[in-house]
Amino acid sequence: MKKRRVPGIEILSDEDLKLMRKAGLVVARALREMTSNVRVGMTTHEVDAIAVDVLAREGATSSFLGYEPMKGIPPYPGVTCLSVNEEVVHGLPSERVLAEGDLLSIDFGAMIEGVHGDAARSVGIGDLASDVEKLNIDTEKSLWAGISAARLGGKIGDISSAIERSLRNAGKYGIVRGYTGHGIGHQMHQPPDIPNYGSRGKGPIIEQGLCMAIEPMATLGTSNTDILDDDWTVVTTDGSVGAHWENTITVTKFGIWVLTEEDGGEETLHRLGLPFGPLSD
Ligand code: MF3
Ligand code: CO
């Protein structure tokens, strides 16, 4: 049982969802190891090396290394995307040294038994300026607002609109256009697109077996981005700081299952009064 009803949208079997959970757990553990060890004075290359170790230990492979989104773009050179300050997403691991007050977005994807997990956290290096700290907290909240809007029989637009509303109510932020969340499963990027703005009740239906990478990107200024000469790094056109949070989720008949949180999202979902929906093994 794979594709049905909406062309291009993959509906995963319960068996496959359990593999998605395995991949998601690798991603969650790697992100925790990176966010808890990153320090002032480290290079982003050293952060990437932490994730390389986790992949080896877990027997997983990178979803990002060698990824080629289209002809003419060089294959992705790391296992993480590490985006500092005005870099919003897709920053390349480098010899750049992290400094006090930097906002570092860590995006990581892992594949195990043919399926992918994809998630991102933004983390302050030392103390953040208060506006940057608030941007980061509000972007994470908007991720959970989007997750909270997912229900069987609902629409992708319910998630998009919840993210947009959450960010607009929280502050005067730029909501990045041009990049979206996405379906995920046997490929890291697959239909449907999940924009970070939109209308409730619009878009493809959320069915059991659909896995979604939800990933708000917000800035202290513009919604517009450029790509640097390295063909990858996405920066704000006005140099304002951007934050990025992402989780891979699915919705079962029991509730929401956050595949890329170590506890499956149980604690946060419980706090938000939402049903937690893991499949038992
Ligand atoms: N994790 C990114 C996303 O959320 C994709 C990274 S692009 C890659 O869609 F080239 F690094 F893989
Ligand atoms: Co993604």
Query: For residue 258, is it within any domain?
Result: yes
End-to-end CA distance of the chain: 19
Query: For residue 277, is it within any domain?
Result: no
| Any ligand 1 atom below 6 A from CB of 48 | no
In CATH, what number is assigned to the domain containing residue 52? 3.90.230.10
Q: Tell me the pLDDT tens digit for each residue of 96-112.
A: 999 999 999 999 999 99
Atom index in ligand 1 nearest the CA of residue 232 equals: 10
Query: For residue 251, is it within any domain?
Result: yes
Are 251 and 206 in contact by the 8 Å Cβ rule? The answer is yes
For a ligand 1 pocket test, name from 118, 122, 180, 260 the mutation site with the most ligand atoms within 8 angstroms of its C-beta.
Answer: 118
CA of 258 to the centre of ligand 2 (A): 14
Max Cα–Cα distance, the chain, nearest Å: 51
Mean pLDDT of all residues in 9-17: 98
For a ligand 1 pocket test, name from 73, 81, 143 the mutation site with the most ligand atoms within 8 angstroms of its C-beta.
Answer: 81
What pTM value is reported for the model? 0.97
Query: For residue 279, is it within any domain?
Result: no
Query: For residue 67, is it within any domain?
Result: yes
Are 58 and 112 in contact by the 8 Å Cβ rule? The answer is yes
Range of the domain at 76: 14-271
Contacts of 169 (CB under 8 A, 6+ apart): none
Query: For residue 89, is it within any domain?
Result: yes
Query: For residue 114, is it within any domain?
Result: yes
Q: Tell me the pLDDT tens digit for each residue of 126-144.
A: 999 999 999 999 999 999 9
